Structure 1
Amino acid sequence: MMWDSSVDPASGESRHLAPVETSVETAKNGAQTLVLRPDPEYFGTPGLTYPVTVDPTSPLAASTDTWVATHYPDSQSSSKELKSGTYDGGTNDQQGQARGVKGSLGQALHARQKT
C-alpha cells in the first residue's frame, strides 16, 4: 500500500491510497530482494500531499494484531491501532484481529460491523 500525507477528516486516514505491486526476485546466488513497483500515475494525482509512504505487505505470524479495511486491503500489522467497524455508513469497512482474543470479543473483532 501507499498513501500520501493528506488527512480525511471523517476517517483520519489519507485521502489518496493505492495498492503497490510487489514481487520477490531471486539472484543466481540465492539472495532474494523484495521489489516494490508503485504506479507512476499515482504521483500525478491532483491534490497529492508529500511525503508519500510506500509500505510493503509483510507475512503475519499467528500472534500478530492487525486490521484490514476496504481501502487498506493489506495487513496493517505494524499499526498502533486496531480498527473495526465503519466511519461512513459502510462504504469503508474495517476488520480487526487481536492475537489471543477468543470468545465474544474475538468474534466481534472478526465480524464486519456496520453502524
Structure 2
Amino acid sequence: MTEINVKVPFQLEILAVPSLIDYSSNKKNRELLKKAIESDARRKSEDFVKKTQNEYKEEPFYWSLYVRKYFKTIKEYEKANWSKNIYPYAHINIEVDLEKIEFGNLIRSTRFSEVAD
C-alpha cells in the first residue's frame, strides 16, 4: 500500500475572541488554543482527503506531479494509474503544524475587565 506523508505548516492571526478568554498573554491558554486548532485542522483535512479518495476518486493536490519522478518511465507511471489504482487506496498521514499565532490589535486593546454582557 502506498503511504503519503503530508506536513501542513500555517500561521494564524486572530482578531477577536468572543469568549473573552485571554490567549494573547496567558501561555497556558495559548497552548490549549494551539492544540485545539491543530487538532481541528488535522481532522478536517483527514475528512477531506477521505472524501476525495472514496467519493470523488480524484486528488485535488497535484501530488501526482511529485510522485512521477519515482517511476522509471512515463509508461510505467501511466500503467500504475495514479488516479484509479494508487491515490484512492493510499494511506495518508497528515501532520498539521501551527507555527505562529498572532493576536491583532483588537484583542490587545480590549479591556476584558470592562466588558459586560
TM-score normalised over the length of structure 2 = 0.23
TM-score normalised over the length of structure 1 = 0.23
Where relative contact order (Cα < 8 A, 6+ residues apart) is larger, the structure is 2
Going by fraction, where is helix more abundant, 1 or 2?
2
